[in-house]
Structure 1
């Protein structure tokens, strides 16, 4: 019956149509009326900005493995998919396209028309992402799919904003924030990445007002901000500068008088101990500015060019160009001292990858102290969220303990427009989910909310049917599936997303958003580097699927994943995964080929009494199956997928394919129908359970093979059952090590398997002499077919020249003449002896050379002597061996 499976594993043919089959049969759909225990995961929503990358593939493969594992274990699964509108990133992509195709900016279209263009982009890329989900085989419950900028979620966001505003948790203030000069929008603190870069520390002279020859030496990394200086600060305890406090110095760029003040904020030992203070362009300087009521000077336009608050020749220059011009100007005016090369941390926008600029802006903020306390209190309670790995809980706590207010307004058009209106004449502020009745007299806030504001609400906002008056969800789905069971995400999102979901959900529902959170690592390249466009080392998962199949990609990702640990991607690992799947395919095909037409599978065959010694190989694999099922399930529950994967691969490759299938061939040739049927049942039974265990790792090929077994309609309708087989096994404990050692012996001695050998078994020192002796007939029946060997207890050899193989407390002996070609061996030994003789003569000649002994180093002479003695010893050994033969 070899027509049941194709001869060669063709992943494209195997994976085609499977996903549609699963979806059409509602195998991923939840059931609110089911009495099964729910298992719910929220899919981390990808941005609607383009293709999924290899990190998404890992982010998706892990929860899909768990969802399928839980379904097979009898849970009511609900994996909720969604997509993120990704305000800044998506708007930037659309603006780029519109300029490239039409040479138009968003201002050419106006807000309303531009938003329509972004929706067109969203629809296009949403379809693309769903196709990629399909390629990855994700068991998503599409009926509950959400989008973070849908009408329903926009209503939720507005409701939450107004609620928080009314409770005093949201406010507007003119404060210093991080500014993205490329996208021209505010950023929150955690959207700024600090990178070590090479730069310079520049020293300048600030001459005293009343002494034209005396000055304070000030060091700065940003000379262009000298225009924004409001004062000079020294530490009042610094004896070098105490006498200068209260005096005035002259700004070297615009001749403005600057007061010298004393504050312990200044580090006496850093730099010159004199600090320039620019409250409009430094976060710490801003705090000093508030403390001393200093003038705030902004010298930058929104695109980081210099504005009218600098001298005329600097207006319009970019930061970098202005810096060069400042150096030239101060050198000319004798106020430049020196430049020192340094390595320092520079703030980079997580969005645009450009250097951020601290600017004073009127922005909306969320007060974080109360919300952070909610998170900390939750983690101290008995109802705390479990973190995997646990160490990341400390990372979260540390951030909550040192939290700053969150800048939530963004100066873009795509996103949740803040539900605030300003009266055109009275300037009254109106905050509500419903626009003012006399709308023509009001202007709505043009800013939108940070994307993380809406995605932070997701664990509860994705369940629709909210009664906002009662502040509760009235759907059955919410009551059954919230809080969700698990969140799977990268550890790099612990601040961006995880923390925000915890405090938003706790604030609004008074419940935690999920019971557990599993952090996986990043997917790095083969050298351990982070993947990036600049390095050109990114991996397109869709291309990997095209080249090797989805199952190979998923198996590689999941079996290399442990909580919080990064993965190194390599094609070698993908090929190894493919080879394993191919091995499984061939083994399955072999089993199906042996299922004769009259054979009928009996799923309870192992309950029948069976005393055939030959079927002990079947009982051995059943015992192994029970052990591996238990350990694989235990490790999946702990999210140790690398451990679970290794257990499975070792079991399938070694125990099942290399040993069991090989040994079972003897039974399949038996004329005893009882022995044969027991083995056929065992084969199919173990294969079925292997497929169930592997299904989450490699869903497509396991479904394909499972359907050939003619059981349930789909593998997802079957069950993961941990079978407790514990048969007493006899001869196999001896047979397997005997075969292993004989195979090793043949390889080591280059003895073909086609050459029959007879071994003598030495049981003199064995504790199990009688037992092994009684099994010899059965053991030999396997050895003759598998390794072309027979073993006898009382064998007499004609020569004392034998080779011994030690196995546990017994051994095997074989006569050398039975496997050694004497003529060939003699010829080989003679050749080696001749070659060694030549080396000995060469060495003797060198050591007899007085010139060499007098001029060569001691080490070189000793090395030559050592070689000579080694050659002599080898020569003598081979001569003795030749004589013995």
Structure 2
């Protein structure tokens, strides 16, 4: 007999363990395959409400398809999370007052990271199990396990040999605290109180022109003043020392007389050209823009288009370089100290026009909390434009579709304007780039050092060097290695891009790969369409010659009840584990599914979860009532044999509810599926059928 009330705290773990032990989560049915790869959570992570929604929806689909007899594989695993994990371990070392990683060396530091991973890296997995996620945990993968590491090396080497990976000097997001390039996703653009400094750049040889200062209603100039300078405005005065030009829009008639002439770059005391380019907005500021190609992404594009020289101003710590094009007094200063000094010196020269207080968007590292510096550095790049062509075509042809469909437009917009993908990171934790440098600086890319060394010997021999000569080139007076490995690691998204096929055994030809690739559907949030979905599409179509998934379901965000994004600073974070402890996993899961309307964010409150807990209680009480009246499951029962009118009616209603739920789940309308189930249980079965059945049963 069922207990008087349902106790999720004891029942849910017991039932979950029974399911997992029985092999219920493994793809052991003979039906058509149904496959989902989990978006791998960071190994450093803890379950948040976004995880709860994402994994609830995946679990609903997996359990639904198992009920339909399909061979369901929900492939789990975790991501090594390069920066996040390295920071966790370094912070731990600092708290223990242990030597820094740079003092103990790479090998010993990585030993510490692997030890941390073994001891603490499984938190998110146990939390997903508490949520009820029915993944096949016997197949759990890690983006740095040996199999996935082999896949990463093979992909890098093949792309390099195809000319699709190369080394180049380009602008990147540089974190001066973590001392690494970071991706756009790791940059938080935050509005802060800033300033707009307006400077005069004097024209060469004292040249003058007439600048309009008053206009009539039609916008026609009515008054002019004589100027011997061009006015620029900047939010980052320290970067003016690296200006290569001043740009104005070709249609801006105010500056037409001086386009092609030169102006003096104050403080640096060198002349730079005034050019016409489509980038400046004539209605913003003065309409004239200083072009600092080595420290601004938009300026970099202008500089590339116009052949403007690039002046790198800062070192990896964002301190001003000791370079001949930087006045000596600024060398070695922190960028913000240099800013103060530049403004003071411009004012002292009488070239400061005004300073405006202004709200500006400033890029911060999401983990370091410091201002990110656009920096010109040598990095490894993937030729994303070429890889994107097949990935774009696949969506155009309907081989992969987005649900809701409007995300297709976002995908195309990103993919058709794609930039080279910077895949190197200046970290120690991650997939070390399989590239080695010879004594002459020549690079050898291979899956192993042995292969790279063979390539080097073959090349040097072909150039006329004897083996004795080559041995003498070895480091450490001929005793050390011939080659030195690149110290950088790969962007975490590189290994994640291979997730749909590397987790199934690629590059080996496995039975799972043949049966479960391409996968059926990817369930993910919209913010990583470009960073993850697009890159899986590129890698899947290139290496598997087939899309990685047929459908991509993009779910919305979980916000607080007022529609605000959850954040610790706002104090409005709702912890899913707290709700599970209080109301049970089923209550939270049903709440999220019931509110997961396509294209609409979820406004979550604890009261909602409590309400759906009451729905679970209603279902429990109904089942207990049936059990008390000797109702039991009979596998041989034929619904068509029911004689009682009331039973015929409820069987019909159950059929309608099942059809409605099925149709909703097949089209990813999770809220409609939950609504159909709720309506049938509460409004039809409990309110009508049980009440009408009581006189018959008693």
TM-score by length of 2: 0.88
In structure 2, the CA distance between the partners of 1:662 and 1:346, relative to structure 1 (3 Å rule), is same
Distance 1:626 1:429, change over 3 A: same
Partner secondary structure for residue 165 of structure 1: helix
Match of 1:488 in 2: 523
| Partner SS for 1:133 | helix
**C-alpha distance in 1 between matches for 2:116 and 2:602:** 32
Q: Alignment partner for residue 431 of structure 1, among 418, 439, 445? A: 445
Matching residue within 354, 362, 376 for 2:392: 376
Q: Residues 269 and 571 from structure 1, CA distance in 2 versus in 1: closer, same or farther, beyond 3 angstroms?
A: closer
From 440, 457, 462, give the equivalent of 2:498. 457
| CA pair 16-400 structure 1, distance change in 2 beyond 3 A | closer
Distance 1:494 1:291, change over 3 A: closer
User: Contact 2:13–2:130 (CA<8 Å) still a contact in 1?
Assistant: no
- Could you say which residue in structure 2 is the equivalent of 1:728? none
- Are residue 9 (structure 1) and residue 6 (structure 2) matched? yes
Contact 1:28 / 1:141 at 8 angstroms: preserved in 2? yes
**Cα offsets for 1:264-287 (capped at 9, x unmatched):** 544444322332221211223223
Alignment CA distance shift 1:52-1:632 (3 Å):
same
Q: Deviations over 1:495-527 (max 9, x none)?
A: 111111111000001011011111111111111
Q: How many pairs are equivalent?
A: 650
Cα deviation per residue 1:65-105 (whole Å; 9 max; x = unaligned)? 11111111111111111100011121122212211222532
Q: How many angstroms apart in 1 are the aligned matches of 2:688 and 2:540? A: 53
Aligned pair partner of 1:67 in 48, 59, 62: 62
Instruction: With a CA cutoff of 8 Å and minimum separation of 6, indicate the structure with the bigger relative contact order.
Output: 2
Per the alignment, residue 381 of structure 2 pairs with 365
Residue 406 of structure 1 pairs with residue 447 of structure 2: no
Q: How does 1:730-749 map to 2 (within 5 A)?
A: none
3-state SS, counterpart of residue 590 of structure 1: helix
Work out whether 1:322 is the aligned partner of 2:319: no
Instruction: Work out the CA distance in 1 between the residues paired with 2:305 and 2:531.
Output: 31
1:443 matched to 2:484? The reply is yes
Matches within 5 A, 1:10-49: 10-31=7-28, 35-49=30-44
1:653 aligns with 2:648: no
Deviation for aligned residue 1:326: 2.9
Alpha-carbon distance in structure 2 between the residues aligned to 1:111 and 1:595: 68
Match of 1:299 among 313, 317, 320: 313
2:668 aligned partner? 639
What is the distance in 1 between the residues matched to 2:240 and 2:642?
92
Larger radius of gyration: 1
* Offset from partner CA, 1:164-194 (integer Å, 9 cap, x none): 1111111111122221233221134555454
Alignment CA distance shift 1:178-1:133 (3 Å): same
Number of the residue aligned with 1:580: 615
Asked if the contact 2:493–2:532 (Cα under 8 Å) also holds between the matched residues in 1, the reply is yes
- Given candidates 217, 227, 230, the residue that maps to 2:231 is 217
2-structure distance, mates of 1:584, 1:265: 63
Do the aligned residues in 2 keep the contact of 1:388 with 1:564 (CA within 8 Å)? no
- Provide the residue aligned with 1:229 in structure 2: 243
Provide the rounded CA distance (Å) in 1 between the counterparts of 2:646 and 2:108.
73
- C-alpha deviations, 1:443-491, integer Å up to 9, x for none? 1111111111100011111112634xxxxx2x21111111111111111
Deviation at 1:632, TM superposition (A): 0.9
Deviation at 1:320, TM superposition (A): 3.7
Q: CA distance change for structure 1 residues 182 and 568 in 2, over 3 Å: closer, same or farther?
A: farther
2:433/2:486 contact within 8 Å kept: yes
TM-superposed deviation, 1:238:
4.4
Change (3 A) 1:131 1:225: same
Once the two structures are superposed, the pairs formed by residues 749-828 of structure 1 within 5 Å of their partners are none
- The Cα of 1:562 is off from its aligned counterpart by 2.3
Deviations 1:749-768 (A, max 9, x none): xxxxxxxxxxxxxxxxxxxx
Residue equivalent to 1:523: 558
Q: Residue 200 of structure 2 contacts residue 352 of structure 2 at CA under 8 Å; is this kept in 1?
A: yes
Matches within 5 A, 1:339-738: 339-349=355-365, 352=368, 354-381=370-397, 384-423=399-438, 425-435=439-449, 436-437=452-453, 440-464=481-505, 466-467=507-508, 473=509, 475-595=510-630, 601=634, 603-604=636-637, 606-608=639-641, 610=643, 615-669=644-698
Distance in 2, Cα, partners of 1:536 & 1:442 = 53
Quote the residue 1:336 is aligned against: 352
- Relative to structure 1, the CA distance from residue 241 to residue 560 in structure 2 (aligned partners, 3 Å threshold; closer, same or farther) is closer
The answer as to whether partners of 1:369 and 1:403 remain within 8 angstroms in 2 is: yes
Secondary structure at 1:16's aligned position in 2? helix
User: CA separation in 2, counterparts of 1:142 and 1:190?
Assistant: 29
Check 1:327–1:609 CA distance in 2 against 1; reply closer, same or farther (3 A cut).
closer
Give per-residue Cα distances to partners, 1:277-304, cap 9 Å, x unaligned: 2121122322343445443222222232
CA, structure 1 residues 97+311, in 2 after alignment: closer, same or farther (shift >3 Å)?
Answer: farther
Could you tell me which residue of structure 2 aligns to residue 161 of structure 1? 156
Which residue matches 2:93? 98
3-state SS of 1:413 partner: coil
Structure 1 residues 266 and 550: CA distance shift in structure 2, 3 A? closer
Deviations 1:384-404 (A, max 9, x none): 112111111111011111111
**SS of structure 2 residue aligned to 1:417:** coil
C-alpha distance in structure 1 between counterparts of 2:569 and 2:335, whole Å: 23
Measure, in 2, the Cα distance between the counterparts of 1:77 and 1:587: 31
Where does 1:231-246 land on structure 2 (aligned, <5 Å)?
231-235=245-249, 238-245=252-259
CA distance in 1, matches of 2:640, 2:186: 62
Taking the aligned partners of 2:119 and 2:353, their CA distance within structure 1 comes to 58
Q: Deviations over 1:688-737 (max 9, x none)?
A: xxxxxxxxxxxxxxxxxxxxxxxxxxxxxxxxxxxxxxxxxxxxxxxxxx
Deviation digits for residues 626-671 of structure 1 (CA, Å, limit 9, x no counterpart):
11111011111111111111111121112111221111110012xx
Alignment partners' CA distance in 2, 1:20 and 1:337:
72
- Distance apart, 1:260 and its partner CA: 3.5
User: What residue in structure 1 maps to residue 108 of structure 2?
Assistant: 113
The alpha carbon displacement at 1:240 in A equals 3.7
Distance 1:609 1:172 in 2: 74
- Compute the displacement of 1:142 (Å): 1.8
State the distance in 2 between where 1:460 and 1:609 align. Answer: 49
- Structure 2: state its 5+ residue gaps: 208-226, 455-479
- Aligned counterparts of 1:668 and 1:98: Cα–Cα separation in 2: 69
Query: Residue 518 of structure 1 contacts residue 563 of structure 1 at CA under 8 Å; is this kept in 2?
Result: no
- TM-score, structure 1 as length reference: 0.70
Contact 1:280-1:358 at 8 Å conserved across structures: yes
Partner residue of 2:474?
none
In structure 2, C-alpha distance between the alignment counterparts of 1:665 and 1:263, rounded to whole Å:
82
- The C-alpha deviation readout for 1:280-334, integer Å capped at 9, x for no partner, is 1122322343445443222222232333344455444444443333333322331
Which position in structure 2 is the counterpart of 1:724? none
